[in-house]
Chains A and B, each alone.
Chain A
Amino acid sequence: MIVTRRMLPRRTFLRGTGATLALPLLDAMIPALTAQSRTAARPVPRLGFIYTPNGVIQAQWTPVDDGRQFTFSPILKPLEPLRDRVLIVSGLAHRQAESFGDGNADHHRATAAWLSGVHAWTRTTGLEIRLDTTADQIAAAAIGRDTRLPSLELALESATSIACDSGADCFYSNTVSWRTPTNPLPAEIHPRVVFERLFGDGGTPAQRRAQMQRSASLLDSLTDEVARLTRRVGTGDRAKIDEYLESVRSLEVRITRTDAESAIASVELPDRPSDMPATIDEHARSMFDLITLAFRADLTRVFTLLVGREQTNRTYPEIGVPDGHHAVSHHQHDPQIVSKKAKIDTYHASLLGRFLRQLADTADGDGSLLDRSMILYGSGLGDGDQHSHHDLPVLVAGGGAGRSVGGQHLRLRETPMTNLLVTLLNRAGVPLEKLGDSTGPLSIEPLASI
């Protein structure tokens, strides 16, 4: 798709006129790819990436038979009603998550490699923190460029609930989204904060506009201050202040999304969530509600969600597993413990199923939101007990604008997971030839573009 109506950055515009506060709505400032320019004939694609931690019980995840006549495995049973929309891909691997003699941070590397295909080196003295821009952020830069939020990064668990060995690079498991090779994006856990980022914190449209103008004038003056500051300090060591400056610029562009108001008006807003949900079930429901709303109003087109962080020891008393998740993932083939881990895996799959049904039930143009979405679900660990990064649990669910994408179990021979990511992005209209250790796109006929 060629977008010809490029936006005129507000700063450029303001500089030109010498104005400081006024924000007249000029036609040139309306992004080309907006809700207003959307029609049923040109649906916008949406992408979601959902991560489940500590691997899975592979024997209960992988369907025993291949192809279109496959039988749903015990863990994936909750997705059976959506059979035609689900593509299960076996045999994918993240070789870059392996140790290479670099310690035993398999959990952290699994998260880091998941959407990047890059090895997260254990940071020793002098080695900077570096990964690569992840698939979701490549997509966000392309298809999310003109939405209010290029992407949403979410999690159902806070970072502090994981004891992080001192010195270990636990931050690698705090997010699957890296905006640049050196800039990991934090994942938000509180539904209220997500709600406010999408829809503001109440008030009338006029109040929101006034707020936006104030934010714009604040941001405007920050750029100059950074310039003065770096002149004064005169240092070559600018990495962190550059992150700040880039953030200022990115928000400046975003804040001028003048169509956001009409987008918000196009959906019926629920009450602003107030409390932190008490259970993972409520938490997931709340987050999926917000994603669905954001997709509908076209406020974002890309999200990532961590169902839990690697090495989490969350307990699941509500489904009869009062033990810690990480503890049961190292089951050592004790049948009782294996069944507990499988219960957790199945429960997580049921949360996905609920979300997919929600997308299927939400209209978008002449189809449903699920028709225009591709949701990748899986983990960077295959067998959690062995910390293996082979035969990863992977499935893609979604639409294909009316065409079938799913309904089969595809069994591949040891293939880089990044090949699937390249394919996924291509089908969503994002040009990408290589990601991490990818060797080329997958040829998946049923995975039609959306």
Chain B
Amino acid sequence: MTTRPARAKRPARGARASAFAVLLLATVFAGREASAQSSTTSRTVSGTPPRALFDRYCVTCHNQRAKIPAARPLALDTADLATVASDPDLWENVVRKLRAGTMPPAGAARPPGDEADAAATWLERELDRSADARPDPGHVPAFRRLTRTEYRHAVRDLLALDDLPKELDIELLLPADNTVGFDTIADALFVTPTLLEGYLTAARKLAAIAVGDASMPLIVDTYRTALEQPQDEQFADLPVGTRGGMRIRRWFPLTGEYRLRVELAGPLRERHELEVAVDGERVQLVPVGGPAGQPRASASGGEGDGLEITVPVQAGQRTVGVSFVKRTSAYAETLTVPFRRGRGLDPAVSAVTISGPFGTRSAGDTSSRRRVLRCGATASASSRSAGATSASSRTVGSADCARQIVRLLAKRAFRRAATIEDVHTLMPFFEAGRRGGTFDAGIQRVIERVLVSPEFLFRVEGGSKRRDGAAAAPVSDVELASRLSFFLWSSIPDDELLDVAIEGRLRAPGVFEAQVRRMLADRRSDALVTNFAAQWLYLWDLPARRPNDRLFPDFDDGLRQAMVRETELFLGSVLRENRSVVDLVSSRDTFLNERLARHYGIPGIYGSDFRRITLPDGSVRGGLLGQGSILTLTSYATRTSPVVRGKWILENILGSPPPPPPPNVPALKTDDNPKQTRSMRERMTQHRANPVCASCHARMDPLGFALENFDAIGRWRAQGDGGTAIDASGTLPDGTAFKDPLSLRAALVQRPERFVTTFTEKLLNYAIGRNLIAADSAAVRAIVREAFRDGYRFEKLVLGIVASRPFQLRRSES
């Protein structure tokens, strides 16, 4: 795209679009040819179909008369290599097996590695050629609604509202989306009356809070601390010199008085001091406990007395901190008392309830009022196009001013240029609101209406239609802007991106890549960690995991949070520092705090703050497979599961997930002699005894066994359950041997393109909101080849995805 020559004149839309398509494809071709030449993995790229290889190694099983149970019979004896293009589903599958080395299976005669590679390369070329000849970007619905996460981010960016009170928590106001691998999968995003009801309620509440409607009802929110989070030490986000407590970042809807009710737990025989701070400034120091009749916590450790204070708070985003003044750090009973899950040995905060606003209420000066109630140039300082009208010509509070606000809201919310129809639709709501009240009330009604509009709630595509009968066409610039922002930010475009798209310059030379780089550098791209990666790695499931507290008494909420934090920081560093994604598997560094370092047995790290650690040589902790989060997520509550871990590696690193077990598999026989403790490996031998099970478990189980030294919460252990010996050796499906977790990691990245391909497929799947089809494999290969030249850096992969056919094009309506 960067090679595209500048044009003197802007041609008509259709012509531009098709010119772009040609250029886009040309770029993709060029990249492919270049990288095919530079490919170092295949020494002998055969120019002839690999018939002989299939005849020698494959057709013994994969023939017309084969009785091997499979979802789809594969007759390689009769399959015609001259027409590979006519059955991409079948041949992409063959390529996958060859590349992963899963076929022919271990034990059977296997072709030398370079012969298998040559065969795969030949097939890939055929498939790529056919994919280029008939570009198929796959089908995504013309209307796809925002996911709940996207809606939350869109509200944040449209109204400058964040950290909403629980009363307005989008996760409560709207029902959960269905997750089919990723929640972005458009086909599974349904619209129901229940959801629309949620949208109506949310719109009403959000509009009121955005303008600071002084008549809004009282809001009462209770925030609880985790039952299994000791409060004996200082928390990272609370003042130095304090311990325990909690920090609440929250939007206060109006300026007024708020009541904070603090509930305490734990022993209060002695006197303690509780500090309450708003935005870091101490507003009260309250003595608790002791003999003087101060509020007391319950002796049982349950919910105790509460104490209530009233504080004036300015509207907007505020941070409330409640913590104990730390008395002495020499007090170290924690070292002598056996660890137990709980809130710790000292008194603790169990809950904080914030209610309000009381007293005289006013709207105050909030980021959201500044964003939605201002007319004039300041409303869009970063925007190139909005400077036309000077603020002086518009009186704040006038109908003209309202019209200007309406246009800006419509543009941002609907992600396109505002139209006169938008104004006609929305202004009656302003007028109705104003009749009954103030200017602000009018804007409030407009926001309500915008937030339930189908153009806000849905991403709409397909406005530009092809007349020349092509099967696929580029999406329009504004559609592309939304595709970018929802992929990289899980949110709406900002003014800069939108203006570039509206002006038709998004695909101009240099502009597209510059915008993508700018967006990746913006904090909003954290969504790639908190949304994409959290779903890919199931991180959002960790809060629901309850490792057995008898077997794992020191798994508490602090540890759980630390595990999630480590993985998030680690993923964030790959993203922010544009590292190679191969580091995800084999990194030499990670992020730890004291709690997690202790869990990993890494000395010398103190305090609750996370910091970057370069791991010593031979450390087993580098990469996702050494992280507590992944190791816990792939275990049961009571024990590890080599099967789950092995499947996880096959699916997420090697990209060759095992097929589901065949129906009606008989249960494993009961242990004949339950008194004799057997090792996990011994117990799993039954998987191999039955040939039907063995076909997959022979691939899964060894990978899982290699991680048996990590227990079900990711601690290192020398022995398995019941003191059994651990044998961590095994082989990859392609025969590469390993003997422990370290050599497993080395084996997994020996051919890094396998993992990079898998990662790219996941990211593309998430980005385009549909399951991948065979035609996408060609696009993925092109992206991976391009990224190879850049050391598989993250940014290059993202640039590859957003330039790819499935991202840039749309299937034409038939």
Contacts and interface: CB of A to CB of B under 8 A. Distances in A.
Interface of A: 21, 98-99, 101, 103-105, 123, 125-126, 128-129, 153, 158-171, 174, 179, 183-188, 190, 192-193, 196-197, 201-203, 211, 214-215, 217-219, 221-222, 224-226, 228-229, 232-241, 243-244, 246-248, 250-251, 254, 274-275, 278, 313, 315, 317, 322-324, 327, 330, 332-334, 385-386
A196 B204 CA distance: 13
9 contacts: A105-B660, A169-B180, A218-B452, A237-B813, A240-B144, A251-B197, A315-B637, A317-B549, A327-B638
A386 to B, nearest CB: 6
B722 interface: no
The 10 closest A-B pairs by CB, nearest first: A171-B178, A166-B181, A186-B175, A161-B544, A99-B663, A243-B191, A247-B196, A104-B660, A237-B142, A240-B143
Contacts of A218: 200, 203, 448-449, 452
B3 interface: no
A386 B454 contact: no
B463 A170 contact: no
B34 interface: no
A247 B191 contact: yes
Interface in B529-583: 536, 538, 540-541, 544, 546, 548-550
A171 B663 CA distance: 21
Given A202-B217, A251-B200, A221 B638 contact: no
A345 B450 CA distance: 47
A330 B176 CA distance: 28
B421 A228 contact: yes
Given A201-B201, A323-B638, A244 B463 contact: no
Contacts of B637: 313, 315, 322-324, 327
A317 B38 CA distance: 59
Contacts of A317: 546, 549
Given A161-B544, A228-B421, A322-B546, A233 B179 contact: no
Contacts of B813: 235-237
Contacts of A169: 180
B49 interface: no
B693 interface: no
B673 interface: no
B455 interface: yes
B457 interface: yes
Given A103-B71, A165-B651, A168-B181, 19 more contacts: A104-B661, A160-B176, A160-B179, A166-B182, A167-B180, A185-B192, A192-B172, A215-B204, A218-B200, A218-B203, A221-B425, A233-B143, A234-B462, A240-B143, A240-B144, A244-B454, A244-B458, A274-B221, A334-B674
Contacts of B421: 228
B190 interface: yes
B670 interface: yes
B638 A166 contact: no
Contacts of B633: 163
B127 to A, nearest CB: 16
B172 A179 contact: no
Contacts of A225: 425, 453-455
Contacts of B674: 334
A333 B452 contact: no
Given A222-B452, A237-B143, A247-B191, A214 B204 contact: yes
B432 A241 contact: no
A99 B425 CA distance: 51
B763 to A, nearest CB: 13
B248 to A, nearest CB: 14
B454 A167 contact: no
Nearest to B652: A166
Contacts of A190: 172
A237 B141 CA distance: 6
Contact residue range for chain B? Answer: 35 or more
Nearest to A127: B187
B667 A235 contact: no
Interface string B187-225: 111111111111011011000000000000100111010
B636 A324 contact: yes
Contact of A322 (B141, B428, B548, B668): B548
A129 B143 contact: no
Nearest to A106: B663
B541 A163 contact: yes
B472 to A, nearest CB: 14
Interface string B655-676: 0000011111001101100100
Contacts of B309: none
A170 B172 contact: no
B272 interface: no
A323 B192 contact: no
Nearest to B633: A163
A158 B172 CA distance: 11
Query: What DSSP secondary structure best describes chain B's contact surface?
Result: mixed
Nearest to B215: A207
Interface string B623-645: 00000000001001110000000
B79 interface: no
Given A159-B178, A218-B448, A244 B196 contact: yes
B395 to A, nearest CB: 27
A126 B89 CA distance: 13
A215 B176 contact: no
B773 interface: yes
A315 B368 CA distance: 42
Contact of B463 (A232, A240, A386): A232
A240 B548 contact: no
Interface in B251-270: none
A101 B465 CA distance: 41
B71 A167 contact: no
Contacts of B455: 225, 229
A275 B196 CA distance: 23
Given A103-B660, A184-B190, A332 B181 contact: no
B145 interface: yes
A104 B222 CA distance: 42
Nearest to B199: A247
A322 B194 CA distance: 35
A274 B449 contact: no
B460 interface: yes
Given A226-B454, A332-B668, A247 B180 contact: no
Contacts of A330: 667
A222 B454 contact: yes
A161 B192 CA distance: 22
A250 B194 CA distance: 10
Interface string B131-164: 0000000010111110000000000000000000
A221 to B, nearest CB: 7
Contacts of A171: 178-180, 188
Contact of A186 (B187, B195, B200, B217): B195
A240 B145 contact: yes
B812 to A, nearest CB: 11
Contact of A129 (B187, B463, B536, B660): B187
Interface string B68-81: 00010000000000
Contacts of A166: 180-182, 536, 651, 762, 765
A101 B139 CA distance: 27
A247 B178 contact: no
B771 interface: yes
B173 interface: yes
B71 A101 contact: yes
Contacts of A214: 204, 445, 448
B172 A21 contact: no
B188 A129 contact: yes
Contacts of A229: 454-455, 460
B370 to A, nearest CB: 25
A322 B176 contact: no
Contact of A243 (B182, B190, B222, B661): B190
Contacts of A159: 176, 178-179
A232 B89 CA distance: 36
Contacts of B546: 315, 317, 322, 324
